[in-house]
């Protein structure tokens, strides 16, 4: 079974600085997807970034980028120029590439989350 | 951006009572999911639903839980006889296709007393 581990329960960053959130995972599959989700105090889950394991290039979305190390099974999130609105819980998540019946699974396996505080 | 709507936002119930949590998916979405998050813990998959049947469910999703899409619009999660440990935030999520972005609702906070 796949597992996702986030070893940093809490992180803090100064506004305008850069912070990196860590995530490691365990899987025997060769193809899969990895995600970072943001959960602000409203508790809605917001997709930040997605990485396909078969792509060597690291995904980037504006100020958010990932460092995907497939051999090390590591998937860290870098937030550049941190803003107050970035303060939230961040979850790393894994999804298998291969689908079961009807291609209907989109089962995400989440880590325990990292609570990011942004200091003004 | 389109939204998944969940009602109610908060539900308080007595242990042993039945509750129904409702979700209105984005209109053209075909795949539906329930996840839950116990306070301070990770988000956990409960069930996936496609073509009017369950396609996958977790160990958490026992006989006390059921899902249906009774009128072709709402997607519901029913807990037949609630337990204290069912207290959690329940998230509905939907997508057009399984390799597309998954949209989450804002959640229903269920408190079982």
pLDDT digits (tens, 9 = 90+) for A20-75: 999 999 999 888 999 999 999 888 889 999 999 999 899 999 999 999 999 999 99
Q: Are A47 and A37 in contact (CB under 8 A)?
A: yes
Q: How far apart are CA B21 and CA B88, in angstroms?
A: 12
Q: Is the CB of A101 less than 8 angstroms away from the CB of B56?
A: yes
Report the mean per-residue pLDDT for chain B. 92
Q: How far apart are CA B110 and CA B47, in angstroms?
A: 17
Under the banding of pLDDT at 50, 70 and 90, the label for residue B104 is very high
Q: Is the CB of A107 less than 8 angstroms away from the CB of B45?
A: yes
Q: Specify the DSSP class assigned to residue B52.
A: T
Q: Is the CB of B48 less than 8 angstroms away from the CB of A99?
A: no
Q: Are A66 and A77 in contact (CB under 8 A)?
A: yes
Q: How far apart are CA B50 and CA A107, in angstroms?
A: 13
Q: Are B53 and B67 in contact (CB under 8 A)?
A: no
Under the banding of pLDDT at 50, 70 and 90, the label for residue B77 is very high
Interchain contact B41–A (C-beta under 8 A): yes
Name residues 53-72 of chain B within 8 A of A (Cβ): 55-56, 58
């Amino acid at each position: 079974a796949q597992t996702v581990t986030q070893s940093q329960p809490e992180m803090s960053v100064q506004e305008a600085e850069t912070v990196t959130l860590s995530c490691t995972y365990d899987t025997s599959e060769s193809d899969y997807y990895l995600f970072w989700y943001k959960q602000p105090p409203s508790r809605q889950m917001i997709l930040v970034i997605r990485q396909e394991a078969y792509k060597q290039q690291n995904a980037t979305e504006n100020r958010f980028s990932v460092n995907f190390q497939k051999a090390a099974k590591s998937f860290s999130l870098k937030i550049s120029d941190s803003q107050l609105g970035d303060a939230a819980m961040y979850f790393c998540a894994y999804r298998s590439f291969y689908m079961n019946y009807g291609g209907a699974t989109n089962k995400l396996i989440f880590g325990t989350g990292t609570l990011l505080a942004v200091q003004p | 951006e389109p939204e998944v709507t969940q009602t109610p936002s908060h539900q308080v119930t007595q242990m042993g009572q039945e509750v129904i949590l409702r979700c209105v998916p984005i209109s053209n979405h075909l795949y539906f999911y329930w996840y839950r998050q116990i306070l301070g813990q990770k988000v956990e998959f409960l069930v996936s639903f496609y073509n009017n049947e369950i396609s996958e469910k977790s160990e958490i999703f026992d006989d006390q839980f059921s899902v249906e899409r009774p009128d072709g619009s709402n997607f519901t999660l029913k807990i037949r006889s609630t337990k204290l440990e069912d207290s959690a935030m329940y998230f509905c999520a939907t997508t057009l296709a399984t390799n597309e972005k998954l949209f989450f609702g804002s959640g229903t906070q269920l408190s079982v007393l």
